[in-house]
Amino acid sequence: MKLEIEKEKLNEMLQYLIVADLYEFPELTVDGEGFIQSIQETSDHSVFRYVKFSPSYFKDIEKKEETIKIDGKKLEKIIANEDPKSSIKIETKDGRLFVFGDRTKADLNLVEVDETKIRKSLPFSIKDGVPYFKKKTTPLDTWMSLDLSSFKSICDYAKILETEFFKFLVDEKNKVTIKVGDLEGYAETIEYEPKAEIKEKNSEIVDVVLSRGIKELSDTFKNNIGVRMKTGFPAWFFEGEKTYKFGVLVAPHRREN
């Protein structure tokens, strides 16, 4: 792998790959056209991350197929002293990762990768931007645009209550409410009406409880967030531009009996 990228863009790229420490060792696959793709899930299978960068995301990239695994947090720290608009060159050779900045040069180990375990495709299908489950028969048919500041607010409330549970509710009149708390009758909760726009909704009511991944996503997204959900199914959080696509699937929390 050989590429050149602006330091500010490399920081952004690493944030999408790491997702606030959910994926400490990102796996990257570059194809013969210069696209870089990474598909990974957490060890407990609760959060699934997809990101793809087009060749135009970079100043320059070698169009040669290769898969590598890096220590994302280490690289983030190494380039920290570079100017935001400076160019960073990255090259892999003989199991090493070479980083060349204006002020910093690094010779790093690549993390060992088992290419037989690298995901090349999503574990669900997407048609016209809509994720489908149960052998392509069940779409996540509620689509909303969620204000980023509102999304960060629910995570602030979670810190106040020291909880990791978020209940997303959309009623018959398309009113969106997010209930933060442990969701038991005796627990402390906060109900919040976020700034949100329902763009599509086919289910009468949406009621989805999410946990792991929400706080990490609030630290990663840069723009208002697209959300696809359906009662009883995972929720798909996504954003993208011409140069990249980013999406995270969060499994619903299932209460233990």
CATH of the domain at 236: 3.10.150.10
Judge whether 104 lies within some domain: yes
Judge whether 157 lies within some domain: yes
**Are 105 and 147 part of one and the same domain?**
no
Judge whether 183 lies within some domain: yes
**Are 37 and 97 part of one and the same domain?**
yes
Judge whether 44 lies within some domain: yes
Residue 233 tokens, joined: 């199914």
**Are 99 and 180 part of one and the same domain?**
no
**Are 100 and 143 part of one and the same domain?**
no
Structural domain total, the chain: 2
pTM here is 0.93
Judge whether 150 lies within some domain: yes
Boundary of a domain, candidates 54, 87, 117: 117
Judge whether 252 lies within some domain: no
- How many other CB atoms sit within 10 Å of the CB of residue 162? 9
Per-residue pLDDT of the chain (257 residues; tens, 9 = 90+): 999 999 999 999 999 999 998 999 999 999 999 999 999 999 999 999 999 999 999 999 999 999 999 999 999 999 999 999 999 999 999 999 999 999 999 999 999 988 888 998 888 999 988 999 988 889 999 999 999 999 999 999 999 999 999 999 999 999 999 999 987 767 899 999 999 999 999 888 999 999 989 999 999 999 999 999 999 999 999 999 999 999 999 999 876 54
| DSSP string over 151-167 | HHHHHHHHHHHT---EE
Boundary of a domain, candidates 117, 152, 185: 117
| DSSP string over 191-224 | EE---EEEEEE-SS-EEEEE-TTHHHHHTT--S-
Q: Which residues pair with 131 in a beta bridge?
A: 126
**Are 10 and 105 part of one and the same domain?**
yes
Residue-number span of the structural domain to which 146 is assigned? 134-243
Judge whether 54 lies within some domain: yes
Judge whether 76 lies within some domain: yes
**Are 28 and 73 part of one and the same domain?**
yes
**Are 112 and 196 part of one and the same domain?**
no
Predicted confidence at residue 135, as pLDDT, reads 83
**Are 162 and 69 part of one and the same domain?**
no
**Are 89 and 190 part of one and the same domain?**
no
**Are 163 and 226 part of one and the same domain?**
yes
